[in-house]
Structure 1
Amino acid sequence: MSEHCATRAAQRPLSLALPVVAVVAASLLAGCGKPPEVDPEVTASAIAPVARIELKVEKVAAGSRTGEQIYNAVCTACHATGVLGAPTTGDAGQWAPRLGKGLDALVASVTNGLNAMPPKGGATDLTDAEVVRATAYLANTAGAGFTEPPVE
Protein backbone atom coordinates (compact mmCIF):
# COMPACT_ATOMS: atom_id res chain seq x y z
CA MET A 1 0.00 0.00 0.00
CA SER A 2 1.30 3.35 -0.90
CA GLU A 3 1.83 6.08 1.59
CA HIS A 4 -0.93 8.12 -0.03
CA CYS A 5 -3.51 5.36 0.45
CA ALA A 6 -2.51 4.87 4.07
CA THR A 7 -3.02 8.55 4.83
CA ARG A 8 -6.41 8.51 3.13
CA ALA A 9 -7.49 5.43 5.10
CA ALA A 10 -6.52 7.16 8.36
CA GLN A 11 -8.62 10.25 7.49
CA ARG A 12 -11.80 8.24 6.72
CA PRO A 13 -13.00 7.91 10.36
CA LEU A 14 -12.38 11.62 10.86
CA SER A 15 -14.45 12.55 7.80
CA LEU A 16 -17.31 10.39 9.13
CA ALA A 17 -17.07 11.84 12.64
CA LEU A 18 -17.43 15.49 11.56
CA PRO A 19 -21.01 15.16 10.25
CA VAL A 20 -22.01 13.20 13.34
CA VAL A 21 -20.61 15.90 15.63
CA ALA A 22 -22.38 18.59 13.57
CA VAL A 23 -25.74 16.79 13.87
CA VAL A 24 -25.34 16.35 17.65
CA ALA A 25 -24.36 20.01 18.11
CA ALA A 26 -27.31 21.19 16.01
CA SER A 27 -29.76 19.09 18.00
CA LEU A 28 -28.40 20.44 21.28
CA LEU A 29 -28.63 24.02 20.08
CA ALA A 30 -32.15 23.51 18.75
CA GLY A 31 -33.32 22.63 22.26
CA CYS A 32 -31.89 25.86 23.71
CA GLY A 33 -34.57 28.06 22.15
CA LYS A 34 -37.46 26.41 23.97
CA PRO A 35 -38.59 28.20 27.12
CA PRO A 36 -38.29 26.06 30.22
CA GLU A 37 -41.53 24.74 31.56
CA VAL A 38 -42.00 26.33 34.99
CA ASP A 39 -44.88 25.76 37.33
CA PRO A 40 -46.15 29.20 38.41
CA GLU A 41 -47.26 27.83 41.78
CA VAL A 42 -43.75 26.54 42.52
CA THR A 43 -42.26 29.88 41.48
CA ALA A 44 -44.69 31.80 43.68
CA SER A 45 -43.98 29.65 46.71
CA ALA A 46 -40.23 29.99 46.15
CA ILE A 47 -40.26 33.79 46.08
CA ALA A 48 -42.98 34.31 48.70
CA PRO A 49 -40.59 34.72 51.65
CA VAL A 50 -38.86 37.70 50.02
CA ALA A 51 -41.60 39.11 47.79
CA ARG A 52 -44.49 39.27 50.26
CA ILE A 53 -45.79 42.74 51.09
CA GLU A 54 -47.74 43.32 54.22
CA LEU A 55 -49.53 46.61 54.68
CA LYS A 56 -50.61 47.67 58.10
CA VAL A 57 -53.08 50.51 58.26
CA GLU A 58 -53.24 52.26 61.57
CA LYS A 59 -56.40 54.21 61.97
CA VAL A 60 -56.05 57.07 64.41
CA ALA A 61 -59.18 58.56 65.84
CA ALA A 62 -59.96 62.02 64.53
CA GLY A 63 -58.94 64.68 67.01
CA SER A 64 -56.22 62.58 68.66
CA ARG A 65 -53.32 63.26 66.29
CA THR A 66 -50.40 65.47 67.24
CA GLY A 67 -49.14 68.28 65.06
CA GLU A 68 -46.09 66.23 64.11
CA GLN A 69 -48.20 63.20 63.12
CA ILE A 70 -50.41 65.37 60.92
CA TYR A 71 -47.38 67.10 59.38
CA ASN A 72 -45.76 63.74 58.56
CA ALA A 73 -48.97 62.31 57.08
CA VAL A 74 -50.32 65.34 55.22
CA CYS A 75 -48.02 68.35 55.02
CA THR A 76 -44.57 66.90 54.38
CA ALA A 77 -45.26 66.06 50.72
CA CYS A 78 -45.23 69.74 49.77
CA HIS A 79 -43.53 71.55 52.64
CA ALA A 80 -40.47 69.28 52.85
CA THR A 81 -39.51 70.09 49.25
CA GLY A 82 -41.22 73.44 48.63
CA VAL A 83 -43.22 72.07 45.72
CA LEU A 84 -45.73 74.46 44.10
CA GLY A 85 -44.37 77.40 46.07
CA ALA A 86 -45.02 75.94 49.52
CA PRO A 87 -42.73 77.45 52.16
CA THR A 88 -40.09 74.87 53.07
CA THR A 89 -40.14 73.31 56.51
CA GLY A 90 -37.70 75.03 58.85
CA ASP A 91 -36.78 77.87 56.44
CA ALA A 92 -37.11 80.95 58.65
CA GLY A 93 -36.64 83.32 55.71
CA GLN A 94 -39.59 81.90 53.80
CA TRP A 95 -41.78 81.73 56.88
CA ALA A 96 -40.98 85.16 58.40
CA PRO A 97 -43.68 87.15 56.53
CA ARG A 98 -46.25 84.45 57.26
CA LEU A 99 -45.33 84.14 60.93
CA GLY A 100 -45.68 87.90 61.30
CA LYS A 101 -49.41 87.55 60.56
CA GLY A 102 -49.89 85.33 63.60
CA LEU A 103 -51.21 81.86 64.28
CA ASP A 104 -54.86 82.73 63.62
CA ALA A 105 -54.09 84.00 60.10
CA LEU A 106 -52.01 80.88 59.34
CA VAL A 107 -54.79 78.61 60.61
CA ALA A 108 -57.33 80.46 58.45
CA SER A 109 -55.09 79.93 55.39
CA VAL A 110 -54.78 76.22 56.15
CA THR A 111 -58.49 75.80 56.87
CA ASN A 112 -59.63 77.59 53.71
CA GLY A 113 -56.72 76.70 51.44
CA LEU A 114 -54.22 79.08 49.88
CA ASN A 115 -52.77 79.16 46.36
CA ALA A 116 -52.07 75.51 45.39
CA MET A 117 -52.84 74.17 48.89
CA PRO A 118 -56.37 72.78 49.17
CA PRO A 119 -58.42 73.37 52.33
CA LYS A 120 -56.90 71.53 55.28
CA GLY A 121 -54.07 70.43 53.00
CA GLY A 122 -56.46 67.96 51.42
CA ALA A 123 -57.09 66.07 54.68
CA THR A 124 -60.77 66.81 55.12
CA ASP A 125 -60.98 64.62 58.22
CA LEU A 126 -58.86 67.01 60.32
CA THR A 127 -60.62 68.60 63.25
CA ASP A 128 -60.20 72.31 63.96
CA ALA A 129 -57.87 71.52 66.88
CA GLU A 130 -55.74 69.28 64.65
CA VAL A 131 -55.43 72.03 62.05
CA VAL A 132 -54.15 74.35 64.79
CA ARG A 133 -51.72 71.67 66.05
CA ALA A 134 -50.30 70.98 62.59
CA THR A 135 -50.04 74.68 61.75
CA ALA A 136 -48.28 75.46 65.03
CA TYR A 137 -45.94 72.52 64.60
CA LEU A 138 -44.94 73.54 61.07
CA ALA A 139 -44.56 77.21 62.01
CA ASN A 140 -42.46 76.28 65.05
CA THR A 141 -39.95 74.47 62.80
CA ALA A 142 -39.17 77.89 61.33
CA GLY A 143 -38.73 79.57 64.71
CA ALA A 144 -42.25 80.54 65.78
CA GLY A 145 -43.15 80.06 69.42
CA PHE A 146 -46.77 78.98 68.99
CA THR A 147 -48.36 76.62 71.49
CA GLU A 148 -50.03 73.52 70.10
CA PRO A 149 -53.39 72.69 71.67
CA PRO A 150 -53.04 69.54 73.79
CA VAL A 151 -54.29 66.21 72.50
CA GLU A 152 -57.30 65.19 74.56
Structure 2
Amino acid sequence: MLLVGVFVGIIVGIILLGDLVGDGESAEAGGAHSMIEERIQPVGQVAVTGGPAPAPASAPIAVAQVPAVAAAAPAQAAAPGSAIYEQACALCHVPPGLAGAPAFGDAASWAPRIAQGPDVLAEHVINGYQGSTGVMPPKGGRVDLSDEDVLAAMQYMIDAAGQ
Protein backbone atom coordinates (compact mmCIF):
# COMPACT_ATOMS: atom_id res chain seq x y z
CA MET A 1 0.00 0.00 0.00
CA LEU A 2 2.89 2.27 0.76
CA LEU A 3 4.21 1.70 -2.75
CA VAL A 4 0.91 2.87 -4.30
CA GLY A 5 0.97 5.98 -2.11
CA VAL A 6 4.52 6.81 -3.19
CA PHE A 7 3.56 6.31 -6.84
CA VAL A 8 0.51 8.60 -6.54
CA GLY A 9 2.66 11.17 -4.75
CA ILE A 10 5.22 11.16 -7.55
CA ILE A 11 2.50 11.61 -10.19
CA VAL A 12 0.91 14.50 -8.28
CA GLY A 13 4.36 16.06 -7.84
CA ILE A 14 5.05 15.86 -11.57
CA ILE A 15 1.70 17.50 -12.37
CA LEU A 16 2.27 20.30 -9.87
CA LEU A 17 5.83 20.85 -11.10
CA GLY A 18 4.54 21.08 -14.67
CA ASP A 19 1.99 23.71 -13.70
CA LEU A 20 4.60 25.65 -11.72
CA VAL A 21 7.22 25.62 -14.46
CA GLY A 22 4.81 26.23 -17.34
CA ASP A 23 3.83 29.79 -18.09
CA GLY A 24 0.16 28.93 -18.45
CA GLU A 25 -0.12 30.22 -22.00
CA SER A 26 -1.10 27.89 -24.79
CA ALA A 27 0.67 27.55 -28.12
CA GLU A 28 -2.27 29.36 -29.75
CA ALA A 29 -1.24 32.64 -28.09
CA GLY A 30 1.98 32.63 -30.10
CA GLY A 31 0.20 32.69 -33.45
CA ALA A 32 0.15 28.96 -34.06
CA HIS A 33 -3.65 28.94 -34.22
CA SER A 34 -3.76 31.57 -36.98
CA MET A 35 -1.05 29.75 -38.92
CA ILE A 36 -3.02 26.53 -38.76
CA GLU A 37 -6.20 28.23 -39.92
CA GLU A 38 -4.32 29.82 -42.81
CA ARG A 39 -2.94 26.46 -43.92
CA ILE A 40 -6.27 24.65 -43.88
CA GLN A 41 -8.31 27.30 -45.71
CA PRO A 42 -10.08 25.94 -48.77
CA VAL A 43 -8.34 26.70 -52.04
CA GLY A 44 -11.55 26.97 -54.02
CA GLN A 45 -15.30 27.00 -53.83
CA VAL A 46 -17.95 24.81 -55.41
CA ALA A 47 -20.54 26.50 -57.60
CA VAL A 48 -24.02 25.04 -57.24
CA THR A 49 -25.78 24.65 -60.59
CA GLY A 50 -28.47 27.18 -61.25
CA GLY A 51 -26.93 29.94 -59.19
CA PRO A 52 -24.18 32.48 -59.70
CA ALA A 53 -20.64 31.43 -58.92
CA PRO A 54 -19.42 32.72 -55.54
CA ALA A 55 -16.67 35.29 -55.46
CA PRO A 56 -13.22 33.84 -54.77
CA ALA A 57 -12.08 34.07 -51.16
CA SER A 58 -8.61 35.26 -52.09
CA ALA A 59 -6.49 36.16 -55.07
CA PRO A 60 -6.13 33.41 -57.66
CA ILE A 61 -3.12 31.17 -57.34
CA ALA A 62 -0.61 31.49 -60.16
CA VAL A 63 0.20 28.16 -61.79
CA ALA A 64 3.58 27.80 -63.43
CA GLN A 65 3.63 26.32 -66.90
CA VAL A 66 5.66 23.14 -67.09
CA PRO A 67 7.24 22.39 -70.46
CA ALA A 68 6.22 19.13 -72.04
CA VAL A 69 8.77 16.37 -71.70
CA ALA A 70 9.59 14.58 -74.90
CA ALA A 71 9.69 10.82 -74.79
CA ALA A 72 13.22 9.70 -74.13
CA ALA A 73 14.66 7.87 -77.09
CA PRO A 74 16.63 4.80 -76.10
CA ALA A 75 20.33 5.40 -76.56
CA GLN A 76 20.83 1.79 -77.52
CA ALA A 77 18.48 -1.10 -77.88
CA ALA A 78 18.93 -3.06 -74.67
CA ALA A 79 19.44 -6.78 -74.87
CA PRO A 80 16.12 -8.64 -74.64
CA GLY A 81 15.48 -9.60 -71.05
CA SER A 82 17.93 -7.14 -69.47
CA ALA A 83 15.18 -4.91 -68.09
CA ILE A 84 13.33 -7.91 -66.64
CA TYR A 85 16.60 -9.18 -65.17
CA GLU A 86 17.18 -5.81 -63.47
CA GLN A 87 13.60 -5.65 -62.15
CA ALA A 88 12.99 -9.21 -61.06
CA CYS A 89 16.08 -11.41 -61.20
CA ALA A 90 19.06 -9.35 -60.06
CA LEU A 91 18.14 -9.55 -56.38
CA CYS A 92 18.96 -13.27 -56.22
CA HIS A 93 21.28 -13.72 -59.21
CA VAL A 94 23.71 -10.88 -58.47
CA PRO A 95 27.10 -12.41 -57.57
CA PRO A 96 27.66 -14.46 -55.47
CA GLY A 97 24.04 -15.63 -55.87
CA LEU A 98 21.42 -15.91 -53.15
CA ALA A 99 19.96 -19.21 -51.89
CA GLY A 100 21.94 -21.26 -54.38
CA ALA A 101 21.00 -19.13 -57.40
CA PRO A 102 23.58 -19.19 -60.18
CA ALA A 103 25.37 -15.85 -60.23
CA PHE A 104 25.00 -13.55 -63.22
CA GLY A 105 27.91 -14.02 -65.62
CA ASP A 106 29.35 -17.06 -63.76
CA ALA A 107 29.73 -19.84 -66.34
CA ALA A 108 30.69 -22.43 -63.71
CA SER A 109 27.49 -22.01 -61.72
CA TRP A 110 25.31 -21.99 -64.86
CA ALA A 111 26.90 -25.00 -66.59
CA PRO A 112 25.11 -27.80 -64.64
CA ARG A 113 21.74 -26.09 -65.11
CA ILE A 114 22.24 -25.48 -68.81
CA ALA A 115 23.34 -29.09 -69.24
CA GLN A 116 19.82 -30.18 -68.20
CA GLY A 117 18.51 -28.71 -71.44
CA PRO A 118 16.50 -25.63 -72.34
CA ASP A 119 13.11 -27.26 -71.72
CA VAL A 120 13.97 -28.27 -68.13
CA LEU A 121 15.50 -24.89 -67.42
CA ALA A 122 12.45 -23.09 -68.84
CA GLU A 123 10.16 -25.32 -66.73
CA HIS A 124 12.11 -24.43 -63.58
CA VAL A 125 12.09 -20.71 -64.39
CA ILE A 126 8.37 -20.51 -65.17
CA ASN A 127 6.92 -22.95 -62.61
CA GLY A 128 9.57 -22.80 -59.92
CA TYR A 129 11.99 -25.37 -58.57
CA GLN A 130 13.28 -26.54 -55.23
CA GLY A 131 16.36 -28.72 -55.31
CA SER A 132 19.36 -29.60 -53.20
CA THR A 133 21.37 -26.67 -54.53
CA GLY A 134 18.77 -23.93 -54.23
CA VAL A 135 15.28 -22.57 -54.71
CA MET A 136 13.75 -20.84 -57.72
CA PRO A 137 10.30 -19.33 -57.09
CA PRO A 138 7.89 -19.38 -60.05
CA LYS A 139 8.84 -16.55 -62.39
CA GLY A 140 11.29 -15.32 -59.78
CA GLY A 141 8.39 -14.34 -57.53
CA ARG A 142 6.99 -12.00 -60.17
CA VAL A 143 3.90 -13.88 -61.34
CA ASP A 144 2.73 -10.70 -63.09
CA LEU A 145 5.39 -11.27 -65.78
CA SER A 146 4.55 -13.18 -68.94
CA ASP A 147 6.30 -16.45 -69.75
CA GLU A 148 8.00 -14.75 -72.70
CA ASP A 149 9.42 -12.02 -70.45
CA VAL A 150 10.77 -14.55 -67.96
CA LEU A 151 12.29 -16.68 -70.72
CA ALA A 152 13.90 -13.59 -72.24
CA ALA A 153 15.49 -12.78 -68.88
CA MET A 154 16.65 -16.40 -68.56
CA GLN A 155 18.28 -16.23 -72.01
CA TYR A 156 19.90 -12.91 -71.10
CA MET A 157 21.50 -14.53 -68.03
CA ILE A 158 22.60 -17.59 -70.02
CA ASP A 159 24.19 -15.35 -72.66
CA ALA A 160 25.99 -13.39 -69.93
CA ALA A 161 27.43 -16.67 -68.63
CA GLY A 162 28.96 -17.29 -72.04
CA GLN A 163 26.83 -20.34 -72.76
User: TM-score, with normalisation over the residues of structure 1?
Assistant: 0.50
Segments of structure 1 that go 5 or more residues without pairing to the other structure are: 1-38, 42-64, 145-152
Q: Is the 8 A contact 1:103 1:136 kept in 2?
A: no
Task: Pick from 138, 146, 149 the counterpart of residue 157 of structure 2.
Answer: 138
The separation in 2 between residues aligned to 1:124 and 1:83, in whole angstroms, is 19
Matched, 1:92 2:104: no
Q: Match of 1:122?
A: 141
Alignment of 1:23-62 (within 5 A): none
SS in 2 for 1:137: helix
How many Å separate the matches in 1 of 2:155 and 2:138?
16
Deviation at 1:72, TM superposition (A): 0.3
- Is 1:70 the equivalent of 2:84? yes
Assess if the C-alpha contact under 8 Å between 1:110 and 1:135 holds in 2. yes
Kept in 2, the 8 Å contact 1:79–1:89? The answer is yes
Take 1:138 and 1:79, find their aligned partners in 2: how far apart are those partners? 9
Give the superposition deviation at 1:139: 1.1
Deviation, structure 1 residue 140: 1.0
| Structure 2 unaligned residues grouped into runs of 5+ | 1-31, 36-78
Q: Distance in 2 between matches of 1:131 and 1:84?
A: 19
Question: In structure 1, what residue type is equivalent to 2:98?
Answer: V
**Does 1:80 pair with 2:94?**
yes
Max Rg structure: 1
Percent identity reads 45
Task: Read off the aligned partner of 1:75 and give its amino acid letter.
Answer: C
Instruction: After superposition, give the CA deviation of every residue in 1:5-59 in whole Å (9 maximum; x if it has no partner).
Output: xxxxxxxxxxxxxxxxxxxxxxxxxxxxxxxxxx9x9xxxxxxxxxxxxxxxxxx
Structure 1: how far apart are the matches of 2:121 and 2:81? 14
Q: What is the Cα-based RMSD across aligned positions, in Å?
A: 2.9
Q: Which residue of 2 aligns with 1:48?
A: none
Residues of 2 paired with 1:143 and 1:107: CA distance?
Answer: 18
State the distance in 1 between where 2:94 and 2:86 align: 10
SS in 2 for 1:85: coil
Query: Which of 1 and 2 has higher RCO (CA within 8 Å, sep 6+)?
Result: 1
Q: Note the C-alpha offset of 1:112.
A: 1.1
Deviations 1:91-116, CA, capped at 9 Å, x for gaps: 11111111112222211101111222
Amino acid at match of 1:138: M
TM-score, scaled to structure 2: 0.47
Counterpart contact for 1:70–1:134, Cα < 8 Å: yes
Residues 1:102 and 2:117 aligned together: yes
